Amino acid sequence: MLNTDVVDELVESTWQDELIRELSDYIEIPALSPNFDPDWADHGHLAAAIDHVFAWVSKQPIVGMTARIAHLPERTPVIVAEIPAFGESASTGDGTVLLYGHCDKQPEMVGWDADLGPWKPVLRDGRLYGRGGADDGYAAYASLTAIRAVQEAGGSHPRCVLLIEASEESGSPDLPAHVDALAESMGDVRLVVCLDSGCADYETLWLTSSLRGMVGTTVTAEVLTEGVHSGGASGIVPSSFRVMRQLLDRIEDAGTGAVLLDSANQEIPAYRVAEAVAMAEYLGADGEPFPFAAGVAPMATGPEALLNKTWRPTVSYVGAAGMPEPGQAGNVLRPSTSLKLSLRLPPEADADSVVRELTDVLTTDPPYNARVSVGAFESANGWNAPDLSPWLGTALQSASQRSYGAPLQLMGEGGSIPFMGMLGEKFPTAQFAVMGVLGPESNAHGPNEFLHLDYAEKLTQVLASLLNDAAVGIAA
């Protein structure tokens, strides 16, 4: 019988005495994901992050645990910890709970407050600032703390496998090979727990019901071999920027933001529309807070805003090249313009189809016969969660009420976790509990990213309760 008082005491003391310090040290490591540090193997930062997390993992007093760092040629490593079933479930050993997280990070980004920084851990007002603490460095620590709490509180848990990867922020290109290599270790996965998602507030437990897919690439429009004086050439030489504007009009309605690619659009299921309505009612008129500049209005509000974020495709322009800083720009027609596109897709859209259509639309019959090219693609399918089994719904609802004093809420997420779509295909009968700490103002990938410590602590309690309930639930 799980003693929840023991769980709460152990979770609280571990967070306060160990995990804040461990995560602070982890934040200091500039472990950029491979897409942002192609020479990651030589630089050693990803290895340092893996080693740092593994050092803590390997010394945890968890009954029967074995842990290792798994390597494959020319791929980022993963941490694997296997924990046998414990307590009443030890005699059955039915099924595996797979607990997932990652330790690679997004780039530094500009705009951090003067006293904050990406590799500078700062503890303030219950928040731990710095890159990667919330996305997703805390996952390994919370997962094993929850397992330890179950064991020391007299509970039970099924066989568990912890998998911490190091390429998620690059679309998890290395993970499929590791999952194939670890097939025997993973066993019969019946529940996947992922702590890399978000929450719409810090007052209750939020379960992720869907994730958008994504396609990213860089498109370049080239018109000259070198820059020329705009006074002598404008009106004869087409501006590469204007060529780019015309190309963008092929993929996005500039007035509404609607994506014009057929492959990127799909009908939203009625039950997800109802979910967005319920979420909007719960959050109230103000909805999710964003740091709008003074006077700027959102594109939509209420349920429509949530559906825009979670099910409708959107395109963002996240990088540019070929353009000097304004203070350094002369009166010159530039040779080329490049833009990096980030296209978010509905959860059930096929990313490969979007890649093909996007390439065709951008490169066929370009204005003025300009040289248009698209770079290498990042792509990942989204994920739409299966219906919750009765035991899992009951377990999560009970855990939310116990730890947060509020009912469980469902939410679609606008971001991507490529691993979920891959696992959904590999383990079609598995249940999923996708949760996380990325709530209002936490600003993952941006400046001033923080981990909300109270929410993370309560989420660790939730995970302990869930694993205890899973001892019976996944075998049913």
Q: CATH number for the domain including 349?
A: 3.30.70.360
Residues 410 and 440 in one domain: yes
- Residue position matching structure tokens 């559906």: 307
Residues 68 and 203 in one domain: yes
Residues 129 and 247 in one domain: no
The one-character DSSP state at 331 is: S
Enumerate the β-bridge partners of residue 252.
259
Residues 333 and 459 in one domain: no
Q: What angle do CA 410, 379, 79 make, to 5 degrees?
A: 75
Question: What is the spatial distance between Cα 7 and Cα 465, in angstroms, rounded to a whole number?
Answer: 9
**Closest to 82 (Cα-Cα) out of 189, 172, 1:** 189
Residues 403 and 448 in one domain: yes
Contact present, 130 and 22 (Cβ < 8 Å):
no
Question: What is the spatial distance between Cα 144 and Cα 79, in angstroms, rounded to a whole number?
Answer: 13
Contact present, 263 and 343 (Cβ < 8 Å):
no
Question: What is the spatial distance between Cα 285 and Cα 305, in angstroms, rounded to a whole number?
Answer: 12
Q: What pLDDT, on a 0 to 100 scale, did the predictor assign at position 425? A: 85
Q: What global pTM score does this model have?
A: 0.89
In this structure, is residue 73 part of a structural domain? yes
Residue 74 main-chain phi, psi, to 5 deg: 60, 25
The one-character DSSP state at 297 is: P
In this structure, is residue 307 part of a structural domain? no
Contacts of 391 (CB under 8 A, 6+ apart): 469, 472, 473, 476
The segments of the chain whose pLDDT lies below 50 read: none
Question: Coil, strand, or helix at residue 96?
Answer: strand
In this structure, is residue 295 part of a structural domain? no
In this structure, is residue 285 part of a structural domain? no
Render 415-466 in DSSP notation, one character per residue: S--HHHHHHHHHSTT-EEEEEEEE-TT--TTSTT-EEEHHHHHHHHHHHHHH
CB atoms within 10 A of CB 289: 11
Question: Coil, strand, or helix at residue 236?
Answer: coil
Enumerate the β-bridge partners of residue 436.
197
Question: What is the spatial distance between Cα 336 and Cα 32, in angstroms, rounded to a whole number?
Answer: 29
What's the number of domains the chain is made of?
2
Residues 317 and 405 in one domain: no
The rounded Cα 161 to chain-centroid distance in angstroms is 20
Examine the fold and report which residue of 352, 380, 408 is the final residue of a domain before the chain moves on. 380
Examine the fold and report which residue of 353, 380, 407 is the final residue of a domain before the chain moves on. 380
The one-character DSSP state at 133 is: I
Residues 20 and 169 in one domain: yes
In this structure, is residue 287 part of a structural domain? no
Question: What is the spatial distance between Cα 34 and Cα 77, in angstroms, rounded to a whole number?
Answer: 12
Residues 11 and 86 in one domain: yes
| Model pLDDT for residues 381-439, shown as the tens digit of each residue | 999 999 999 999 999 999 999 999 999 999 999 998 888 888 888 888 999 999 999 99
Residues 97 and 165 in one domain: yes
Task: Give the pair of three-digit tokens for residue 314.
Answer: 């959107």
In this structure, is residue 400 part of a structural domain? yes
> In 92-188, which ranges are E strands?
96-102, 122-124, 127-129, 159-165
In this structure, is residue 297 part of a structural domain? no
Residues 89 and 26 in one domain: yes
- Residue position matching structure tokens 């020329």: 228
Cis before 136? omega within 30: yes
Contact present, 451 and 437 (Cβ < 8 Å):
yes
Examine the fold and report which residue of 357, 380, 403 is the final residue of a domain before the chain moves on. 380
Q: What angle do CA 317, 321, 326 make, to 5 degrees?
A: 100
Domain, as residue range, for 239: 213-268+312-380
Question: Coil, strand, or helix at residue 8?
Answer: helix
Q: What pLDDT, on a 0 to 100 scale, did the predictor assign at position 418? A: 84
Residue 215 main-chain phi, psi, to 5 deg: -135, 130
**CA atoms within 13 A of residue 142's CA, in its CB half-sphere:** 32
Question: What is the spatial distance between Cα 411 and Cα 200, in angstroms, rounded to a whole number?
Answer: 8
Contacts of 417 (CB under 8 A, 6+ apart): 168, 194, 196, 197, 211, 383, 434
Residues 164 and 251 in one domain: no
Q: What sign results for the dihedral spanned by CA atoms 425, 427, 431, 434?
A: negative
Residues 195 and 337 in one domain: no
The one-character DSSP state at 335 is: S
**CATH code of residue 462:** 3.40.630.10
In this structure, is residue 288 part of a structural domain? no
